[in-house]
């Protein structure tokens, strides 16, 4: 029947299939219900909705899938035997507030040292900036690799700004900026940006 001309369309189904194949796409090998595909970094975390979530040991470099189940991000991975297994569920978080579980780093006494290497500020300006809080430290670690310019001027501006609303709000804004890769001159203060919102303006 595939070689007979169709009464309604007037076309031969076998010929029509060759035309329609050009508009079809290949289905994913893995079920879509697993969620969004992510690659586990060397720090054992994935980024999902601009938030870093840690994974148990043994999955660095592996492909995993992440989806929200209820109010919890669920991470699924393929085991050595080839089976799919949910390896962890986290609390749902927001950008700038990573979910890092200490037990995912049993080889590090403080749990987080692999994810957040210790900063060693040297100048007075660096000491004052890092003193704002952990978000400032995260911003300083990310700014250089991200290719940010005028880093010292931005640090000085943040220290100056922290005297108005206080360290906490500026630190939150810096943490959000670091997580989302926002290092432009006006990202901390521009109306409508994450920094301005974090400062409650």
* Cα–Cα distance for residue pair 136/174, rounded to 1 Å: 5
* Cα–Cα distance for residue pair 99/114, rounded to 1 Å: 14
pLDDT number for residue 113 = 44
Most confidently modeled range among 11-25, 63-77, 167-181:
63-77
Does residue 114 or residue 9 have the better pLDDT?
Answer: 9
Does residue 185 or residue 18 have the better pLDDT?
Answer: 18
Name the nearest CA neighbour of 171 among 138, 201, 141: 138
Per-domain boundaries in the chain: 1-106, 124-198
With 50 as the cut, is the pLDDT of residue 193 above it? Answer: no
pTM: 0.44
Contact 21, 13 (CB under 8 A): no
Q: Which residues pair with 54 in a beta bridge?
A: 45
* Cα–Cα distance for residue pair 183/121, rounded to 1 Å: 19
- pLDDT tens sequence across 74-89: 999 998 888 889 999 9
pLDDT number for residue 191 = 32
Contact 50, 95 (CB under 8 A): yes
Length of the chain: 201
């Amino acid at each position: 029947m595939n070689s007979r001309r169709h009464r309604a369309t007037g076309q031969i189904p076998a010929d029509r299939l060759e035309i329609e194949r050009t508009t079809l796409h290949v289905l994913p090998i893995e079920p879509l219900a697993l969620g969004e595909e992510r690659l586990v970094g060397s720090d054992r975390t994935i980024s999902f909705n601009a938030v870093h979530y840690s994974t148990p040991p043994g999955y660095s470099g592996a492909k995993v899938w992440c989806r929200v189940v209820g109010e919890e991000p669920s991470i699924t991975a393929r085991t050595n035997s080839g089976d799919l297994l949910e390896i962890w569920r986290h609390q749902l978080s927001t950008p700038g507030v990573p979910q890092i579980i200490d037990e995912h780093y049993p080889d590090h006494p403080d749990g987080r040292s692999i994810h957040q290497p210790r900063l060693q500020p040297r100048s007075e300006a660096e000491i004052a900036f890092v003193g704002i809080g952990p978000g400032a430290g995260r911003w300083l670690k990310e700014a250089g690799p991200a290719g940010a310019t005028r880093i010292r001027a931005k640090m000085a501006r943040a220290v100056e700004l922290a005297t108005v609303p206080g360290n906490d709000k500026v630190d939150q804004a810096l943490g959000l900026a670091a997580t989302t890769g926002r290092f432009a001159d006006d990202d901390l203060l521009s109306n409508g940006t994450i920094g301005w919102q974090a400062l409650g303006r």
